[in-house]
Every structure is written in structure tokens, then in C-alpha cells.
Amino acid sequence: MTNGLKKEDSAALKGLAVLLLIFHHCYRLADRIERYQVDLCGLTTEQLVAIAECCKICVAIFAFVSGYGLMYGYSAKMKNKEKYAVSEWISGHLLSTMSGFWFTAAVSYLIYFGLGLKDPSKWGETFYERGFAVFADILGISRLLETESLNGAWWYMSAAFVFIILLPLLDGTIEKFGGIFCIAVIFLLPRILGIGFQGGSKPYSFLLIFVAGTLCCKYNFFQKLHEYRRKKLKFICLSALLCAGFFLYHKIDLKIFWEFRYALVPFLLILFCVEYLFRITPVSLFLQYLGKHSMNIWLVHTFVRDSLGKYVFALKKFWLIPVAVLVISLGISYCLDFLKKITGYQKLIRLLQKKSDGTLCGTGMIFREDRNRIQRGQ
């Protein structure tokens, strides 16, 4: 399978997503804009909030990149493996995906509880309840267990957890029934069951765009798009569809057709960026740089916005405040990476990953030898 989406483009998408994320969390609430008397530079509060709401597509971009990357890695690993390797693949990817979060979450709890910045009673009445809730949050599954979280933006870790576990099942379903069947089921199931819109911080709301990422990988969509010969027509169509998508973004009822905001428009933006925007080298390099720090920035930027709010919002200009949040979050990211290095955390995770890979390969050799003996009649 050829990888149509380059690693550089994947990193740039994450960099773009984290910029949208910061803007979204700075201005999605009108009362925050009014409380800090933000200078809107000619915009109205309603317009700024509407733009910030559009930036919610950052979550869909992360989900798409997750789907593409997981499917690419899974297909490569499983190409010459037996089915027994699925559980090892899941555990290995949970470790590699969640380990960066665990460290940041643990450090955050030590700081906030150690300095008395948060009231522990919010996590439960008893010591056991509090300990369980904190542990669940550090593991990244608080949203699944519906327990208290130190940071509301961390809900996506529960989605990442679900996506990793679902991927082998999803891959098997695609192989057997096809991608269109998967999309149809995801679209129709909540409507048939009468479940409806799950909310903007639920894994199912972003399952369709995650599946789109897996299908783009499996069917090599980006390479086919890039090789499409009618270049002018492609540019006109993508540009027109993307403009129409943003024009209709707030006009289509979210509760009826949430896939429009959380799948269709983000998908069009991803296609446009990969095909055109990321071909501008300075833009691509800058976004790639942010993409390398995207996880850390995502995990801490709301701490910066809230704990240092009176300082960053003192800058007043609406465009300058997200820049300040980004710069401070980026500095914290470097500090976190340094702490992971000096504490030996990075070495520990790499060691665990090697052991996981070694177990996987070793088990595979044993199974293949047993199978060969059976075939030889030994």
C-alpha cells in the first residue's frame, strides 16, 4: 500500500488543527470576550464567536489524521501477521498514543493539587472515589467513565482510546462489506435507534471523519487525487465546495446533520490544504513545527488561557491573544519534553515499546513454526 499522505502533510494538519483549537477555546464563549473587553478590530462579538465555532473542525482534523495513521500502521503490521497479533497491536498503540498524555496529566495533577489550585472534593466525597476519578483521568478514559476531569479539553483521549480499539474491527468490516457500507451504518445507526446528536465532545460524533481517514489510507485516495489530470477543474471544485461548506456551516442544523460540521466540511478543508496550502513551503514548515508539539499544546493551552487569563487577555487585540497562548503553551511543551528526558520517562516508554514489539515478533515466529511443523506432518 502506497502512503498517499506524506508524514510532513500529516504533521502540518496537526499544526493547523492546534491553531484552530486555540482560537476556538479562546473565543467560543461570548462572556469571556466581554469580560476581558477584547478589542475585536471591527468585528462584532457574534461574528468572532461564529468564527471560533467554525474552528471546532480542529477535532475532526485530529480524528482524520488518527484514522489515516492508525490504518496505515495497522495494514503494514498485519500484512504478514496472524490474527493473534491484533491484541498486541492494540496494546502497543495504546501505549504509544496515550503515554505522552499520561506524563502531562500526572504532572498537571501534581501542580494543581500540590499548590491547592483545585478543590479535590470535586473528584468525589471519599478518598477512594477521588483516587479512582484521578486515576481514570490520568489514564485518559474519564469521558468514557463519566468521571471528573482536570481539563475539559482532555475528553479527546477517550475518543482516541475508542478509535484504537475499534480499528481492527473496522478494518475487517471494510474488507468484508466495503467502505460505503461502513459510512452508511455510521450515518444511519443513530437515526434508526433514535439516539440523535451525541454532543461535540463524544467519540461517536467524530467517528465518521475517523473512518474517512482510514478509507483514504486504505484506498490511497490522496495519491489518486494528486494524480487527477484536470488540475484547474479540481482546484475550482475543491475551492467552491469548501466556500459553500463554510457559508452553510451555521445554517444547517447541527442536531439533524452534525456530520456536515464534523465530517464533510473538515474533509474538504483537509483536501484543500494537502493539495494546495501545504505546497507553500514556509506555511508547511511552520505548521509541521507546530504539529510536532501539537499534543503538548493541546493538553496545556486551556491551563494557559485560564490560569494566565488576566495576562494574555490584557493584550486586548483578538488576534494577538491566541498568539500569546500559543507561545506560552509551546514553551511549556519544551519543558515537558525536557522533564520526560531527565526523569527517564522517554527511555521507559521506548523500552516498553521494544518489549511489546519483541513479544509480538517472538509470538509470530512461534506460531509460524508450529504451523510449518503441522504442514510437514511433524
Identify whether 372 is part of a domain.
no
Instruction: For the beta carbon of residue 32, count every other beta carbon within 10 angstroms.
Output: 18
> What is the pLDDT averaged over residues 52-61?
96
For the cut 90, the answer to whether the pLDDT of residue 33 exceeds it is yes
Q: What angle do CA 180, 206, 334 make, to 5 degrees?
A: 130
Q: For residue range 220-234, list pLDDT tens digits in order.
A: 999 999 888 888 999
- Return mean pLDDT, the chain: 88
For the cut 70, the answer to whether the pLDDT of residue 290 exceeds it is yes
Among the listed residues 68, 67, 63, the one whose alpha carbon sits nearest the alpha carbon of residue 266: 63
> What is the pLDDT averaged over residues 274-287?
96
Instruction: For the beta carbon of residue 376, count every other beta carbon within 10 angstroms.
Output: 7
- pTM score, two decimals? 0.89
The CA radius of gyration of the chain, in Å to the nearest whole number, is: 22
Cell of residue 367, nine digits: 506460531
Q: Which residues contact 341 (CB under 8 A, 6 or more apart)?
A: none
Domain count, the chain: 1
Q: Which residues contact 239 (CB under 8 A, 6 or more apart)?
A: 272
Query: Which residues partner with 67 through β-bridges?
Result: none
Identify whether 375 is part of a domain.
no
Q: Outline where 115-257 has alpha helix (H).
A: 127-139, 142-145, 156-177, 179-192, 207-218, 221-227, 231-247
3 state SS of 124 = coil
Identify whether 378 is part of a domain.
no
In this structure, are residues 48 and 27 in contact, taking their beta carbons and an 8 Å threshold?
yes
Identify whether 373 is part of a domain.
no
Q: What's the start-to-end Cα distance of the chain, in Å? A: 36
> What is the pLDDT averaged over residues 63-74?
93
> What is the pLDDT averaged over residues 345-366?
66
In this structure, are residues 25 and 301 in contact, taking their beta carbons and an 8 Å threshold?
yes
Task: Cell 470576550: give the residue.
Answer: 33
* Out of 69-83, 191-205, 275-289, least confident range: 69-83
pLDDT bracket for residue 371 (50, 70, 90) = very low
For the cut 60, the answer to whether the pLDDT of residue 362 exceeds it is no
Identify whether 109 is part of a domain.
yes
Question: What's the pLDDT score for residue 314?
Answer: 94
How far, in Å, CA of 16 to CA of 294, rounded?
9
Question: What's the pLDDT score for residue 369?
Answer: 41
> What is the pLDDT averaged over residues 65-71?
94
Identify whether 371 is part of a domain.
no
For the cut 50, the answer to whether the pLDDT of residue 377 exceeds it is no
pLDDT bracket for residue 364 (50, 70, 90) = very low
Among the listed residues 337, 336, 325, the one whose alpha carbon sits nearest the alpha carbon of residue 301: 325
How far, in Å, CA of 116 to CA of 37, rounded?
29
Identify whether 30 is part of a domain.
yes
Query: What is the residue-wise DSSP string for 79-136?
Result: TT--TTHHHHHHHHHHHHHHHHHHHHHHHHHHHHHHTT-S-GGGG-SSHHHHHHHHHH
Question: What's the pLDDT score for residue 1?
Answer: 43
Among the listed residues 157, 151, 171, the one whose alpha carbon sits nearest the alpha carbon of residue 329: 151
Comparison of pLDDT for 301 and 198, the residue scoring more: 301
Residue 286 belongs to domain spanning = 7-366
Identify whether 2 is part of a domain.
no
> What is the pLDDT averaged over residues 261-287?
96
Q: For residue range 73-125, list pLDDT tens digits in order.
A: 888 777 766 555 788 888 888 888 899 899 999 999 999 998 888 888 889 88
